[in-house]
Each structure stands twice: as C-alpha cells, then as structure tokens.
Structure 1
Amino acid sequence: MEIHPDKRKLLELAHYKMPFGKYKGSYLVNLPIAYLVWFKQKGFPAGKLGRYLETTLDIKSNGLEPLIWKLQKEFPID
C-alpha cells in the first residue's frame, strides 16, 4: 500500500495557526502536546481545525516536528 500525502495540505498545516484560546496565533506544531492530548480526550473540533489538530498530535507524538519546521522555513507564506 502506497501513501500519497497531499503536499498542499501539509504546507497549509505547517502554517496553520490556532484561531482561539490561550494559544491563539501559535502555529499548531508549537502547541504543547498536553494541550493536543486534552483535545483528543474532549473531542477535536469539527472540520479542518480538528483534522489538523489530530494530525499535529500524530506528528508530535512521533517526533516529526523538524519536518514541519523545515517546511515553514523553506516555504514561507508572505
């Protein structure tokens, strides 16, 4: 089975910021893992934000943050 990630969505995730709460304006990849686990326990929000929070938890749980930081650096959004 081959996996073909959507590059545009990955770039969007790399630049997506928390839209509300204590961490409003922070990149999702910079959120504390405890905060992401709390969302998982309470239920991720519906829609894109929820999918991105869940994906970010997976990324952080596997120590893959450097990949996202590299995308942020190499593909900045103006």
Structure 2
Amino acid sequence: MKSEEVLQDLVSTKMPFGKYKDSFICNLPEAYLVWFHRQGFPAGKLGMLLATMYEIKLNGLEYLLHPLRNKNTG
C-alpha cells in the first residue's frame, strides 16, 4: 500500500468498534492510541492504520493530514 493511500485511509476510515466507534481514525485521541500501543494493535489493515496514526501523533506530524481532511470535508 502506498503512503498516500495510507494517509487517505486515515482520514476516511472510521473505527469499527469500541468507545470511539464511527470516529475517523485521524480523530482518535492520543490516549486511545497509546492504549492500543500497550495492549497490541489489532491484526490487518485496521491495526496498521492505528499504528500509523499512533506514530503520526507521537511525532507531531498531524499537519500531514490537514490537506486531506480539507479535501474530504470541502
């Protein structure tokens, strides 16, 4: 999967379960992503997206998603 596709998926994929069900992955709180990091991310694409979002938030790179968010909402 290309990095552009991963970034696009972060702003267009919703969390399918749990406390933040139906929230976009990019909008999940950092504390929730830290919890997954400690417990273990789910397998498959969802786990990869959550792990990627964790790294983005951890490293202060959320600005990379701003143009994609604007594209999806505008």
Pairwise TM-score range, normalised by the shorter structure: 0.7 to 0.9
SS at match of 2:57: helix
- Cα root mean square deviation, aligned: 1.6
**TM-score using structure 1 length:** 0.80
Between structures 1 and 2, the one with greater helix share: 2
Q: Please list every run of 5 or more consecutive structure 2 residues that lacks an aligned counterpart in the other structure.
A: none
Q: Which has the larger radius of gyration?
A: 1
Q: Which residue of 2 aligns with 1:47?
A: 44
Q: Which residue of 2 aligns with 1:73?
A: 70
What percent of counterpart residues are identical?
A: 53
Does residue 28 (structure 1) correspond to residue 25 (structure 2)? The answer is: yes
List, as ranges, runs of 4+ consecutive aligned residues in structure 1 with deviation greater than 2 Å.
Answer: none
CA contact (8 A) 1:29 1:60 kept: no
